[in-house]
A and B are shown apart, each in its own frame.
Chain A
Amino acid sequence: MKYYLARRLLLLVPVLAGVSIIIFMVLHLAPGDPAEIMLGSQATQEDLVRLRADLGLNEPLHVQYLRWVGHVARGDLGRSLWMKRPVLGEVLTRFRATLVLTATALVLSTTIGIALGVTAAMRPNSMLDRLSAVASLFGASMPSFWLGIVLMVIFALQLGWLPASGMYAPHSGGDARDLLTHLILPAVTLAAASVTIVARLTRSAMLDTLAQDYVRTARAKGVSSGAVVLRHALGNALVPIVTVVGVQAGYLLGGAVLTETVFAWPGVGTLMVQGILARDFPLVQGCVLVVALSFVLVNLAVDLLYAWLDPRIRYE
């Protein structure tokens, strides 16, 4: 396992280098002078000269990149042009809100998805199985931001059961209960498409394992139906399920941008969109960097989890 871990960590190096180059290049994608793009047509010559010097835009590209990576490695993501504050602190504060949202959505999609998938696999072609197939088709076709608005109209604006937006009530509240009531609608919106994907994959993985000889042997030995499904079948179906859950974690981190915008959730996604509209490149780079790094780490965690679940992988 140690050897496997070392090999996986080593493989991270080129990925991280590539990710950092792409994020750095975001500033240089547009034709023209980045300083002019950021400050707009109203900027004075002095402002432009100062910003070019601040960002080191007068130096060759590779020097700019190496200096930027050096700063990033020391935790300095630059200053936001729009908020006039260091980017790192702002991004990390917002990232906590994004993590709360995506983690809740991931827990929802995993538990509900696995439960639905196992039930559907135990009774293939039943009403529940067909419903789950239809739901997965709908889940893949429905824009999440539209689902969010529809849920908001029904449960917040018409029925008044849940708050429509934000993370905490503006005046009272601030406690866990307040957070939970604000979290329900965005988390359900974000998890909706993932639930159907996890459910379909769990169903097919379970159908595969339920047809294996060892399951028949367990049944022949008189093991109860529940124990066969949970211990013998689900345990062995977990590797593909973990794969899809890992992919979903990344999808949720990225997809959270749209859900956060619908529900005005104060996460890193809304901050990034505000940064783009304000042409605040250091802020945008900081947001992308933090989310991309966490995505890379989630992928690493998933790979390690495979190796733990299936020893064949770590001896390959």
Chain B
Amino acid sequence: MSDVGAATVPIPRASAPTRRRYRLGRLAGRNRLALVAAVALLLAVAAAVLAPWLPLADPDAVDTPHRLRPPLSAGHTLGTDEFGRDLLARLVWGARVSLTAGVASAAAAMVLGVTLGILGGFYTGWIETVIMRLTDILMAFPYVLLAIAIVAGLGPGLRNAMIAIAIVGFPLYTRLVRGAVLSLREREFVEAARALGASDGVILGRHVLPHLLSPVIVAFSLDVGAKILATAGLSFLGLGTQPPTADWGSMLATGRQFVILSPHVVLLPGLAIFAVVLALNLVGDAVRDLLDPRRV
């Protein structure tokens, strides 16, 4: 063995500080954009949380004489919709619904998916078979179609739309976590814990779960945007938020009929969805770079 080692030609490599500087430089370059995105996201979240205390018009107050006013009209910075309701107020109040729906459905999918993924990866036998077949079957449906089918059964409404999206979304986490747990359960530290007499609960909670945090956080940060798009899509079809509650998807759906007269009623909620999801994706990419240095 030592002969082989002696015959090996050393490969010239950049020195460690150079490599680190290069990586940090790339990360900083990317993160400038992610920083802007994070600030924009924080502003959107702050506006949504503080909506009741902001000097905004009543988002549901109908004022038909002033319907479809363009942006920068007197008293209506972003104009009004088909019922004369203030668009800025509806966008801000809509952010509460859209952001909550996206985060809540992604969180529910994550909790369910991670739990099933841990169980499916750690226990072989019928538990693994049942969980993996269930995820296979759910993944045998096109994503949007299955969500629509579940809403069809539960009935249209925001809560049911969120349940549907969480059900459709959990197999992603199950697959991700199961793969990681399959390799983790063979590692020495798990064997050592078992030899010391640790119960399954302790092994999973204290030794396996911490290793899953980084991939799950990365997946979650990229998933929230997708879930906001999905809930907005269901609301657009009339299967999510029901009138008069404002959310960005339903605002787009109702504004669509007036697109020729007043394109802003459609353009503004669409831009809001686009900007927030873009910001989430940029922040998600930065989180991935931070937690998974191999990708940088």
| Minimal beta-carbon separation of B278 from chain A (angstroms) | 4
Residues from chain B with a CB closer than 8 A to the CB of A138 are 278
- B133, CB-defined interface residue at 8 Å: yes
Indicate if the CB atoms of B263 and A153 lie closer than 8 Å: yes
Cα distance, A299 to B151, chains bound together (Å): 25
* Distance of B165 from chain A, by nearest CB (Å): 13
Q: Number of residue pairs across A and B with beta carbons under 8 Å?
A: 144
- Min distance, Cβ A97 to any Cβ of chain B, angstroms: 16
Q: How far, in Å, is A68 (CB) from chain B's closest CB?
A: 15
Please determine whether A288 and B281 come into contact, CB atoms closer than 8 angstroms: no
Q: In the complex, which residues of chain B have a beta carbon less than 8 angstroms from the beta carbon of A144?
A: 233
Q: How many residues of B contact A (CB 8 A)?
A: 45
Question: With the chains together, A28 CA to B127 CA distance in Å?
Answer: 25
A29 touches B154 (CB 8 A): yes
Nearest CB on A from B159, distance (A)? 13
A113-162 contacts to B (CB < 8 Å): 137-138, 140-146, 149-150, 152-153, 157
Q: Does B296 contact A (CB under 8 A)?
A: no
Cβ < 8 Å to B, chain A residues 210-232: none
Contacts of A149 in B (CB 8 A): 252, 256, 259, 266, 270
For the complex formed, measure the closest distance between the CB of A10 and the CB atoms of chain B, giving whole angstroms.
14
Q: Are B153 and A25 interface neighbours, CB within 8 A?
A: yes
| Contact in complex: A146, B252 (CB < 8 Å) | yes
Of A18, A30, A273, A299, which contacts B137 at CB under 8 A?
A18
The reply to whether B140 and A15 form a contact with Cβ atoms under 8 Å apart is yes
Mask, B249-274, CB within 8 Å of A = 1, is: 10010001001100100110010011
What are the interface flags for B160-201 relative to A under an 8 Å C-beta threshold, 1 for contact and 0 otherwise?
A: 000000000000000000000000000000000000000000
Nearest B residue to A250, CB-CB: B142
B94 at the A interface (CB under 8 A): no
- Asked if B260 contacts A277 (CB within 8 A), the reply is no
A276 to B145, CA, bound (A): 12
Residue ID in chain B nearest A283 by CB atoms: B152
Q: Would you mind naming 11 contact pairs between A and B with Cβ atoms under 8 Å apart?
A: A14-B137, A19-B140, A26-B149, A26-B152, A29-B154, A141-B229, A143-B270, A144-B233, A145-B233, A273-B148, A299-B140
> 14 extra interchain contacts, Cβ-Cβ under 8 A, other than A149-B256, A153-B266, A272-B145?
A15-B140, A18-B134, A37-B155, A137-B281, A150-B270, A153-B260, A157-B260, A250-B142, A255-B142, A257-B148, A272-B152, A284-B152, A292-B140, A299-B140
| Partner-A contacts on B (CB < 8 A) | 133-134, 136-138, 140-146, 148-156, 225, 229, 232-233, 236-239, 249, 252, 256, 259-260, 263, 266-267, 270, 273-274, 277-278, 280-282
